[in-house]
Amino acid sequence: MQGGSQAGSPLGPRARKRRLPQNTPFLRSRSQVLFQSDDTALSRRLLKLTSLLDVAKAMSAERDLDLLLPLILYEASKVVEADRCSLFIMDRERNELWSKVAQGSKNEIRLPVGSGIAGQVASTGAVINIPDAYADERFNRSFDTSSGYHTQTILCVPMRDASGDVTGVIQALNKRNGRIFDAEDEELLLALGANAAGAIENALLHEEINRLFEGFVSASVVAIEARDPSTAGHSERVANLTVALAQALEHTATGPYANIRFSPMELQELRYASLLHDFGKVGVREAVLVKAEKLYPHELDMLRARFQVARKDLQLQSYRRRIAAVKLRGDKAMAEIEAEEEARLGEELKRLDEVLEFTLVCNRPTVLAQGGFERLQDLAQLTYADAFGQDRPLLQPQEVRSLSITRGTLSPDERREIESHVDHTYRFLSQIPWTRTLRRVPEIAYAHHEKLDGTGYPRAIPSKTIPVQSKMMAIADIYDALTASDRPYKKAVPHTLAVDILSREASSGQLDRDLLTVFNEAEIVRKVMNRAK
């Protein structure tokens, strides 16, 4: 029954059209037009849905809010075929909408929730679709007046998070080709807004985590510098020098580091490691950290007091000799005895003062002249009589050992205690649940005092196991330590001398010669100093 009724066909209207006789030209051409029209609309919708999926993937991968927001606007304009779009984010604390990515505007825009078209959508959560902006009393013409733009059609939809709460608003202006926004545009823009809300929430959370880490790092640096004020600014300077050196490697075309490139996240990881490289100093005794001279202040006070007692002892001995001389030689020799004793006492006090002055010179963090250490051993034999007439050493054995320190102010035990700050740093930083992109912060900071020849500390590891980031930090750390003007235990050396010292250490195989070449040729110090001004 080929020519019978098709009313009950389960294939529907389109199937019936396909069964029309092919020898009817009029019907055939009309059927083709209908099929072409349906296929075009379906292809167009499929293209938009595919675009939505693509932008959803792109948005889920982007964590930088400054890059994400323009991406959302671009895709929103493309999906609904709008001339331009704006995106507003809800600020619940201030009950405002804010935007810094409104197409056609370079300034941040803020408006109260409930005010204007975007504010009403944020307040009610309902879509607003205006076919003729100037015929709608909700439209504010001031933007058009100030910008010279002419708004015709508006589509404004809410952005909702997974809980259904409105987190922002997307507003599209002027459907292209003079058309108006339809229900399909509303549906597509709502779908894009839902994806955008999730992506923005993730980006904001990522930003908050970054601010959290920044705050933690800043607080840690403050804690370090509070315990050792003499090194204030050291961590920041080392971080700036190290990161600048890492960036300079991008322009290196030859040598072992020609192909090394650091991503923004790797640079952030390096910066955090540099800022926190001395974090372990919080585990070192403060007296050792700030030790400016070989003797601690309380030790020097005791030494000075001992010399004062010795001085009084010399005077007492002189008066005893005078009394004995008068008894032996009589009153008539009093003037002569006085003159003799005054001269003798003056010489003895002068020698005592010279010993004290030499001791104070030894106490400073300077290298003694040839024979200085031998004289210290001789002075260790000097004694004085205490209040009970008992002979006591003028210099205690521990004081002699401290005053005999050949370099700096620290004894071997104290130097080991200072060096232990690296172990403390690693142990403390390893307790922090770093993100995947920052997981190497403890490892990089741990190796900043290691040497390429295996003579560094605390592990004395060989060059091949030292991260390149740590090798860069070592150069920056030593340079700043040499040139810093705020260290009480040493004088700052000029830039040229610091570079010479670094070069000698590189020549002896302790520092990386290729990295030091980049450090010098790229003028890292000058660039960082200019940037800080």
- List per-block mean pLDDT (blocks of 10 residues) for the chain, which spans 533 residues: 39 38 42 50 66 66 75 86 90 86 66 90 94 91 86 94 88 92 90 84 82 89 84 91 96 89 94 95 90 94 96 94 92 92 96 95 76 82 90 94 89 93 96 92 97 95 96 97 78 91 96 96 92 73
- Domain finish residue from 378, 409, 440: 409
pLDDT value of position 10: 35
Same domain (yes/no): 171, 79: yes
User: Which CATH number belongs to the domain containing residue 187 in this structure?
Assistant: 3.30.450.40
Residue 213 falls inside a structural domain? no
Residue type, 77: S
Element (H, E) at 87: strand 82-91
- Domain finish residue from 157, 177, 208: 208
Structure-token match 């980006």, residue found: 203
Same domain (yes/no): 252, 398: no
Same domain (yes/no): 68, 199: yes
Same domain (yes/no): 265, 320: no
Of 101, 434, 403, 466, residue with least CA distance to 276: 434
Helices marked H in 101-231: 116-124, 142-147, 183-227
What's the predicted TM-score (pTM) here?
Answer: 0.72
Alpha-carbon dihedral sign for residues 123, 124, 126, 131: negative
Element (H, E) at 172: strand 166-175
Structure-token match 């210099």, residue found: 395
Same domain (yes/no): 275, 337: no
Residue 438 falls inside a structural domain? yes
For residue 412, whether the previous peptide bond is cis, meaning omega lies within 30 degrees of 0, is no
Same domain (yes/no): 337, 459: no
User: Which CATH number belongs to the domain containing residue 435 in this structure?
Assistant: 1.10.3210.10
Residue 153 falls inside a structural domain? yes
Residue 68 falls inside a structural domain? yes
What is the C-alpha to C-alpha distance for residues 188 and 242, in angstroms, rounded to an integer?
Answer: 48
Residue 90 falls inside a structural domain? yes
What is the C-alpha to C-alpha distance for residues 483 and 475, in angstroms, rounded to an integer?
Answer: 12
Same domain (yes/no): 402, 419: no
* 153 CB-near residues (< 8 Å, 6+ apart): 130, 131, 132, 133, 173, 174, 175, 179, 180, 181
Count the domains in the chain.
Answer: 3
- DSSP characters for 228-251? -GGGTTHHHHHHHHHHHHHHHGGG
Residue 166 falls inside a structural domain? yes
Residue 40 falls inside a structural domain? no
The answer to whether 448 and 422 are in contact (CB under 8 A) is yes
Name the residue range of residue 98's domain: 56-208
pLDDT value of position 28: 43
Same domain (yes/no): 86, 62: yes
